[in-house]
Amino acid sequence: MTPIIRFEHVSVNAHEKTILSDISFELFPGEKAVLCGKSGSGKSSILRTLLGLHALSRGMVYFRGKPLDYLSVQAIRSCTAYIGQEPVLGADSVREALLLPFQFKAHRGRQPAEAQLIEALQRLQLPADILKQASNHISVGEKQRIALARGLLLGKNLYLLDEVTSALDEASKQAVFEVFSDPGLTVLSVAHDPDWISRCNRVIKLEEGRLIQDVT
Amino acid sequence: MKTLDIALPQMALLYGLCVLPWLLLWLIGLRLSRDIAVSILRMSIQLMLVGIYLKMLFHLNNPWFNGLWILMMLLVADWSILQRAGLKARYFFLATFTAIASSILFTTAYLVILVIQPAHFYDARYLVPLAGMILGNCLQGNVIALERFYSALRKSENEYVTFLLLGASRWEAVRPYFRLAVKAAINPTIAGMATMGLVSLPGMMTGQILGGSEPWLAVKYQIAIMICIFTGTTAACIINLKLSLAIAFNPFDVLKEEIIDKH
């Protein structure tokens, strides 16, 4: 089986500092992997590198067997949902935020119906009336789940999650775990939360930009 | 009607007026003496040199000399726009030159050839001051457009990246910042047109009236120049920003850090 993601001896320098050094690993469809390590160990940099946001100084990243270039990075971005610690919703209201991607040419004409919006919200323990709220009046935990709901509405199957349960209560966390129990979804995450780590089938440990342990 | 000359003693009296703002600034604790002195000196020397050059230019009225003067103005404006917008000239010089040259030449040619229709289109009396006025305003607009656009993009990097990751093309992702930058650049011109004649008498019109023109003729020239300034500035800002998009990003749509002049 072709790995969905392959890092081959990847090194990345940013601001005259090595942030990733000789990283190699593969991620297969359906895997739920978590990157662990201290702050500054390079966890988030791996996610950003995969999205083409850091230039490689050595090695190569492959997506579905193709090296990372202008075309493959578009392919990665079109099938990937990236949810950071404090996601940017990019619109004034929650409804506009959920519908934002459908204004872009890549998703135009696929705008979800009201019932689909509500269903996506409810899967993540969010009430339907949150649609009317202003984006800057909701909590970080709600923002994270709205960003996840946006990924679900777009039908994304690769999720890059950076501390996505950091601001969630127990019930919301369970809802997120439920969503990612779907074997069709591939997850590469960054987490310190023991609950999240225990639900991942693979733990990749990093230290000072180096991969030191990869346990399945 | 002949315009009254300002004799040298009266010119000295005029410079004396600068003591008032200098004193006011000093009283509020702003120590700008050096900047003020340098600016007034530069303005005076530059205008005197322009006066000498324009006198020669009007006397010769040669299309090549006139063209050379406009080219020089464009090159200085190009350098000045990039320096003030905080962008490195080695990356954007050609793009900015293309944008301002095409917009200024088009609007000036439109005004001179189609509207004013002098005996010779290259007549220095019309071509040089009109191109200069349009370019001067266009310069301000382009500084605002480039500066606002790139500082907004850097400030909102997370939002821009979010747009990309939600499927936006580079153009779709930068469009909100692009629109705001163009709006900021042309707003002063739009506001200026809306209040013109009510709040202030524009410089060119005042100059023409002082020069002995009929007020009605001065009004027509002022309308013509304002429409050309608006057209030239809008076109130059949009072309400039559009051309810069091809230079400022890497193939993965990430803004290149090295284009920003941090000095």
Torsion B218-B219-B225-B228 (CA) sign = negative
Distance between CA atoms of A86 and A141, rounded to whole angstroms? Answer: 8
> B190 and B98: one domain?
yes
Q: B166 and A84: CB-CB below 8 Å?
A: no
Residue ranges for chain A with pLDDT beneath 70? none
B68 in the same domain as B33: no
Question: What average pLDDT score do residues B71-100 get?
Answer: 94
Q: Are residues B71 and B180 in the same domain?
A: yes
**Interface mutation target, options A71, A104, A135, A146, chain B, most CBs of B under 10 Å:** A104
Cα–Cα distance between A7 and A20 in angstroms, integer? 11
> What confidence score (pLDDT) does residue B120 get?
85
Beta bridge partners of A81: A159
CA–CA separation, B237 vs A215, rounded Å? 55
SS3 percent helix, strand, coil of chain B, rounded to 5, is 80, 0, 20
Hey, what amino acid is at B213? S
Domain that holds residue B99: 62-259
> Same domain, yes or no, for B82 and B188?
yes
**pLDDT digit string, tens, across residues B138-179:** 999 999 999 999 999 999 988 999 999 888 989 999 999 999
Count of CB atoms within 10 A of residue A36's CB? Answer: 20
Contact A84 B252 (CB under 8 A): no
User: What local confidence, expressed as pLDDT, does residue B1 receive?
Assistant: 58
Provide the token pair at A180: 């990612």
Q: Looking at the structure, do residues B107 and B233 belong to the same domain, yes or no?
A: yes
Give residue B11's identity as a one-letter amino acid code: M
Instruction: Please enumerate in sequence order all residues whose Cβ is within 8 A of that of A148, keeping only pairs 6 or more positions apart, or say none.
Output: A81, A83, A124, A159, A164, A176, A179
Question: Which domains are assigned to chain A?
Answer: 5-91+156-215 (3.40.50.300)
pLDDT of B75 higher than 90? yes
What DSSP element (H or E) covers B99?
A: helix B89-109
B112 and B205 housed in the same domain: yes
Same domain, B126 and B137: yes
Q: How far apart are CA A197 and CA A175, in angstroms?
A: 16
Examine the domain organization and report whether B228 and B212 are in the same domain.
yes
Q: Number of folded domains in chain B?
A: 2
pLDDT(B203) > 80: no
Q: So what's the ipTM on this one?
A: 0.88
Domain match, B147 and B254 both:
yes
Decide: B235 and B229 in contact? Cβ < 8 Å.
no
- Residue bearing tokens 């270039």: A69
Q: Is B251 on the interface with A (CB under 8 A)?
A: yes
| Nearest CA distance, B169 vs chain A (angstrom) | 8
> Please, what is the average pLDDT of chain A?
87
Q: What is the pLDDT of residue A107?
A: 86
Same domain, residue pair B6 and B111: no
